[in-house]
Chains A and B, each alone.
Chain A
Amino acid sequence: MSKQYETVIGLEVHVELATKTKIFCSCSTEFGGAPNTHTCPVCTGMPGSLPVLNKQVVEYAIAVGLATNCTITQNCKFDRKNYFYPDNPQNYQISQLYLPICRNGSVEIETEAGKKSIGIHEIHMEEDAGKLIHDDWDDCSLVDFNRSGVPLIEIVSEPDMRSAEEVIAYLDKLRLIIQYLGASDCKLNEGSMRADVNLSVREVGATEFGTRTEMKNLNSFKAIARAIEAERERQIDLIESGEQVIQETRRWDDTKEYSYAMRSKEDAQDYRYFPDPDLVPVVISDAWLEDIRSRQPELRDEKMERYAKEYGIPEYDISIITNSKHLADIFEETVAICNNPKKVSNWLMVETMRLLKEHDMDPEDIRFSPANLAKLIHLTETKAINSSVAKEVFEQIFAENIDPEQYVEEKGLKTVNDEGALRSTIEKIVEANPQSVEDYRNGKKKAIGFLVGQTMKEMKGKADPGMINQILTEILEQ
């Protein structure tokens, strides 16, 4: 019988914090500026410049630490990690090695197999590097330091995960916690959340860990799942054929579904960390800690419980709506205006989800205002428009956040509630379709559907189907 293997996985997750300025200087962190327009002597590593810590970075790091059950290191400091690379202008990255701000935490994940606790070894604060663009024309590289100094936290897990499913559940848990705290938007595909996977395999029952590799360049949940599967297979193949797994950093190529060892820069692992003399220690008093604790917002688990109690909507809807902080905010604000949680939930669950999927968007990308959704719900509740018109109007709200009242007025989409006009249209339709009328009178009650459709067409969709039905039945039964 062939041997059974177990996969052991730990994660290093980098999260870009949602501060307005960089970690050690007052440059903007805004994404997408022209190269080097958000730079200064500090974030380009000019001699003599002095870093000054952004207080908000410390507060976000503490908030994430508290939400992940960590112990906060009340006396912490920064260290220099030394290496040479053109994206790193100081020739060191300011990070935390000896006294990281958070330690010994955990989060609970849920998979098909049930609940499980994943340990968090530490969370530390550090700065991001610049961006290198390779210029093939001049055979050189161009450095843009706009991202240099953007604040990051690195969340290091314990090697507690055993499958891709657990890894994804863990990442999703972190994403939700951090999004709810407002500490980052956590977008894997845009790089504001990055995960490096440390993976080893061992025979089931073994107590020692195998040799691990570190996998980089994982930009989606799907890429992470594929990379984990491929690396597990690769390591098992090596072991089965009597070879050794080498401890190395590998880069995942998701289009080829293959990873390769990154050329180890000469002695790159010898970072010669030492305390950064430019930065004074950070002392976090009990009072400061309590202040941050008291300002912690409602997190997802609490929100789910409250929704079930307050709004009486199905558990499944609650889980989808609260799966995005932004969507939950839209839900709550809309309900606050129109006081109709079931209808709001319905618009979010059905039409919003359909349009998001159609446009390949995330709930975070939704731009319509709760006020406009509330107005649309009011229009349907008062039967000013019928449901198919409402869907059409909603598409406009979703796309351009139009004011539905104004839009309906301008386009003349209001339901015709003039019974006289509707009755004369129906009489015309009845006259023009003697066959359907005869079918109906001979007992084929379904024939009414065709007549309703024809009337609706004639009314250009602006009629209340209930009213058509009622008048039609009346005429046919005569």
Chain B
Amino acid sequence: MANIISDETIEYVGILAKLELSPEEKEQAKKDMGSMLDYIDKLNELDTSNVEPMSHVFPVQNVFREDVVVNGDDRENILKNAPEQKDGSFQVPKTVE
């Protein structure tokens, strides 16, 4: 494997993704990520200097919606997805900037 992922990198990616990994999982993730990067390196061997960057997989553009209110009050159903709710709101652990 050409790409070696350091412990620091895997820790950092874990923090960004809000994942807590066991030592075994970390080792596995380092290996997986390394082989993914190897694959990207392989792709990078292709000369793409004359290829337009692709911004979407489908050859579709300009999918729009008119500015008309269609949705009504569906709070009861929406809040069914809340692990906890209070006063018509999603209740979450206290979060202050």
The residues of A with any CB-CB pair to B shorter than 8 Å are 19-21, 25-28, 34-41, 44, 46, 52-56, 58, 77, 82, 84-86, 99, 132-135, 138-145, 251, 262-263, 266-267, 270, 272, 275, 277, 279-283
Is the pair B66, A55 in contact by a Cβ cutoff of 8 Å?
yes
Is the pair A36, B90 in contact by a Cβ cutoff of 8 Å?
yes
In chain B, positions 52-79 with a C-beta closer than 8 Å to chain A are 55-58, 60-71, 73-75, 78-79
Query: In chain B, what residue has the closest Cβ to A59?
Result: B67
Contacts of B78 in A (CB 8 A): 36, 39-41, 44, 145
CA distance A281 to B71 in the complex (A): 25
CA distance A34 to B64 in the complex (A): 28
Known: A54-B64, A133-B89, A142-B86. A263 touches B97 (CB 8 A): yes
Q: Is B15 an interface residue (CB 8 A)?
A: yes
Known: A36-B89, A140-B94. A277 touches B56 (CB 8 A): yes
SS of A interface (majority): loop
Contacts of B88 in A (CB 8 A): 34-37, 144
Contacts of B18 in A (CB 8 A): 84
Is the pair A141, B71 in contact by a Cβ cutoff of 8 Å?
no
The residues of B with any CB-CB pair to A shorter than 8 Å are 12, 15-16, 18, 55-58, 60-71, 73-75, 78-79, 81, 86-97
CA distance A272 to B66 in the complex (A): 31
Which of A34, A141, A272: most chain B CB closer than 10 A? A141
Give 26 CB contacts A-B under 8 Å. A20-B69, A21-B70, A26-B69, A26-B71, A27-B71, A28-B71, A37-B73, A37-B75, A38-B73, A44-B81, A53-B65, A54-B65, A55-B64, A55-B66, A99-B55, A134-B96, A140-B91, A140-B94, A142-B89, A145-B90, A262-B97, A266-B15, A272-B16, A279-B63, A281-B62, A282-B62
Rank and list the top 3 A-B pairs by shortest CB-CB distance, nearest first. A26-B70, A142-B89, A55-B64
Is the pair B94, A141 in contact by a Cβ cutoff of 8 Å?
yes
Query: In chain B, what residue has the closest Cβ to A268?
Result: B16
Contacts of A35 in B (CB 8 A): 75, 87-89
Is the pair A281, B55 in contact by a Cβ cutoff of 8 Å?
yes
Is the pair B61, A140 in contact by a Cβ cutoff of 8 Å?
no
Is the pair A141, B64 in contact by a Cβ cutoff of 8 Å?
no
Known: A39-B78, A266-B15. A140 touches B69 (CB 8 A): no
Is the pair B91, A142 in contact by a Cβ cutoff of 8 Å?
yes
Is the pair A142, B61 in contact by a Cβ cutoff of 8 Å?
no
Give me 9 other A-B pairs in contact (C-beta within 8 A), A28-B71, A44-B78 excluded: A20-B67, A26-B65, A38-B73, A39-B78, A141-B91, A142-B92, A143-B91, A267-B15, A280-B60
CB < 8 Å: which of B15, B69, B87 contacts A28? B69
Is the pair A21, B63 in contact by a Cβ cutoff of 8 Å?
no
Is the pair A280, B91 in contact by a Cβ cutoff of 8 Å?
no
Is the pair B86, A140 in contact by a Cβ cutoff of 8 Å?
yes
Is the pair A267, B16 in contact by a Cβ cutoff of 8 Å?
yes
CA distance A281 to B92 in the complex (A): 35
CA distance A284 to B2 in the complex (A): 43
Is the pair B93, A141 in contact by a Cβ cutoff of 8 Å?
yes
CB < 8 Å: which of A85, A143, A263 contacts B90? A143
Is the pair A144, B89 in contact by a Cβ cutoff of 8 Å?
yes
CA distance A84 to B18 in the complex (A): 8
CA distance A160 to B81 in the complex (A): 47
Is the pair B66, A138 in contact by a Cβ cutoff of 8 Å?
no
Is the pair A251, B97 in contact by a Cβ cutoff of 8 Å?
yes
Query: In chain B, what residue has the closest Cβ to A36?
Result: B75
CB < 8 Å: which of B65, B66, B95 contacts A132? B95
Is the pair B64, A281 in contact by a Cβ cutoff of 8 Å?
no
Query: In chain B, what residue has the closest Cβ to A288?
Result: B62
Contacts of B93 in A (CB 8 A): 140-141
Contacts of B63 in A (CB 8 A): 52-53, 279-280
